[in-house]
């Protein structure tokens, strides 16, 4: 087997994706809050929160 994408940890205190953000698919208007979690892309700016 090969992990194409490793699964999230599923513990009670491992919920670090609990935000409203566009890329989860609600198609609303707010900016994606968690884009630093995207898989690839340019380096994250140093001051990115």
Partner 1 sequence: MKKSRFNILVDKTPDYALIFNSFSRGFVELEKDVYQKFDALKLDSNDQIAKELKKGFFLMDEDVDEDKVLQARNRVSRYKGYRLGLLILPTLNCNFSCEYCFEDKQRGFMSPDVEQSIVGFIKSRVGEIRELKMSWFGGEPLLATKIIDRLAREIIDLCEANNVAYHSDLTTNGYLLNQKNIDWLKEIRVEQIQVTLDGDRETHDQRRKLKNGKPTFDTIISNLKLAAGHFGISIRVNIDRKNKGKVNNLLPVLVENNLQDKVYVYYGIVVGITNACRDYEPVCLDVDQLSDVMFDLHKDAIDNKYDFVLFPYPLSSVGGCGAMRPDFFVIDPKGFVHKCLNSAGNEKEAVGHISRPIGFTPELVTWLTWDPLEDEVCSQCKLLPLCSGGCLWNKLHGLHSCGYHRDPKFMNKLLKLYHEYTREKEIQPVL
Q: Is the dihedral of CA 2, 15, 36, 32 positive or negative?
A: positive
For partner 1, the binding residues in 15-44 under the rule CB under 8 A are: 15, 17-44
Residue 13 C-beta: closest distance to partner 1, Å: 9
In degrees, rounded to 5, the angle at the alpha carbon of residue 9 between the alpha carbons of residues 7 and 11 is: 150
- Provide the minimum distance between the beta carbon of 42 and partner 1 in the complex, in angstroms, as a whole number: 5
- Give me the least distance between CB of 46 and partner 1, in Å please: 9
Q: Which residues bind partner 1 (CB under 8 A)?
A: 1-8, 10, 12, 15, 17-45, 47-49
């Amino acid at each position: 087997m090969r992990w194409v994408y490793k699964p999230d940890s599923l513990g009670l205190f491992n919920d670090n994706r609990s935000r409203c953000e566009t890329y989860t698919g609600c198609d609303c208007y707010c900016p994606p809050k968690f884009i630093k979690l995207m898989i690839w892309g340019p380096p994250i700016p140093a001051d990115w929160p």
